[in-house]
Structure 1
Amino acid sequence: MSKAFTRETEADNDFAEEDASPLPPLPVGSKNYITPGGHQRLMDEFHWLMNKERPQVTATVAWAAANGDRSENADYIYGKKRLREIDRRIRFLTRRLDIAEVVDPAAPRDDETRIFFGATVTFANQAGEEKTISIVGVDEIDTARGYISWVSPMARALIKAREGDVVTLHAPAGTEDLEILEVKYRPIPIEPFGNADGPGR
């Protein structure tokens, strides 16, 4: 067995192990709740990988493979590695999209003072400090913009509460009471694919 073949087989095994890793935690049997913008972002990335990047890398690998000794061919080795990364990401996106449940934060609600997925919530902590967060999907987290996952401890503490309620947040640093000041349902802007991460994500 050649060294090149051994090296590729080991890399494929590493790839299989990484691909078998669990998705970020979602409640058992639940859908992957996501906003329209977040769903579009995943779809755009999926189509970009399938229709543009993967065909380009495949062509590069085929060209490099025709140039002789693959064990010494940097284009071939890098191309094969990149193909494994692309295929891993495509499988991840496919699984995510298969269980996606798109929820529009701006859609009318029966009770717009009660907190559910898609709510933008302003609350105050015990020190009187106010903070505003939006409850989004696990693939849309952006702490700089106050976007938290609906499965996070804070979202779990807030969900189903109403304006004026006081909820208790149980966090690793301890417990804290939060007073809910305002609940709004409005569009939550999600950065389109390519703008934040670049197309080579």
Structure 2
Amino acid sequence: MSRPPITKSGSERLRGELERLKSVDRPRIIAAIAEARAHGDLKENAEYHAARELQSFTEGRIAQLEALLSNAEVIDVAKLNPGKRVVFGAIVDLEDEDSGVAVTYQIVGDLEADIKQSLIAVSSPIARALIGKHEGDSFEFTAPNGVKHYEITGVRYE
């Protein structure tokens, strides 16, 4: 079984979330359960049931993060030296050849992908189309709303 890749910054971000869940959220939830339990009858105590549900969600997320981080292979993008070739960890500036709209994405592991932060999974269709290309190359890929044509205007590693 291969280990899923993750960038060093993605690993640090997930470790930060794990630490917050363990040191801040978990004690807060335990206190909320104790307070709700003090109110008496647990069968009809909505505060108690809400706190227990939140505890279950939080413990599940803690277990998930611990498993992900223990299996992931951390790759320090700053130590890569691929030149202007697109590989895992690259921050890629693209220009839509049809509309002229410019976008920037970083190719990251599946564990840390977040399109809202312009972090795209290495397994995504656009990332698979980008891997191995160079700055100045044009490429196309099939998006959910049709075929897109892009030019790679910049490649960098931070």
- By how many angstroms is 1:63 displaced? 4.4
| 1:151 alignment partner, one of 123, 131, 137 | 123
In structure 1, give the amino acid aligned to 2:4. Answer: N
Q: Which residue of 1 aligns with 2:63?
A: 91
Deviations 1:2-59 (CA, angstroms, capped at 9, x unpaired): xxxxxxxxxxxxxxxxxxxxxxxxxxx4433222222112112212222332233224
Alignment of 1:134 onto 2:110: no
- By how many angstroms is 1:116 displaced? 0.8
Q: 1:63 to 1:127 in 2, by over 3 A?
A: closer
In structure 2, distance between residues paired with 1:136 and 1:156: 12
In structure 1, distance between residues paired with 2:41 and 2:58: 24
Aligned length: 157
Q: Which residue of 2 aligns with 1:57?
A: 29
- By how many angstroms is 1:139 displaced? 4.2
Q: 1:132 to 1:50 in 2, by over 3 A?
A: closer
Contact map agreement 2:6 2:109 (CA 8 A) in 1: yes
Other structure's SS at 1:70 match: coil
- By how many angstroms is 1:118 displaced? 1.0
In structure 2, distance between residues paired with 1:126 and 1:64: 59
**Which structure 1 segments of 5+ residues have no match?**
1-28, 187-201
Contact map agreement 1:112 1:185 (CA 8 A) in 2: no
Over the aligned positions, Cα root-mean-square deviation in angstroms equals: 2.3
Q: Which residue of 2 aligns with 1:82?
A: 54
Q: Which residue of 2 aligns with 1:24?
A: none
| 1:122 alignment partner, one of 76, 87, 93 | 93
Alignment of 1:42 onto 2:14: yes
| Fraction of identical pairs, as percent | 37
**TM-score of the pair, normalised by structure 2:** 0.83
**Which structure 2 segments of 5+ residues have no match?**
none
Of Structure 1 and Structure 2, the greater strand share is in 2
In structure 1, give the amino acid aligned to 2:147. Answer: T
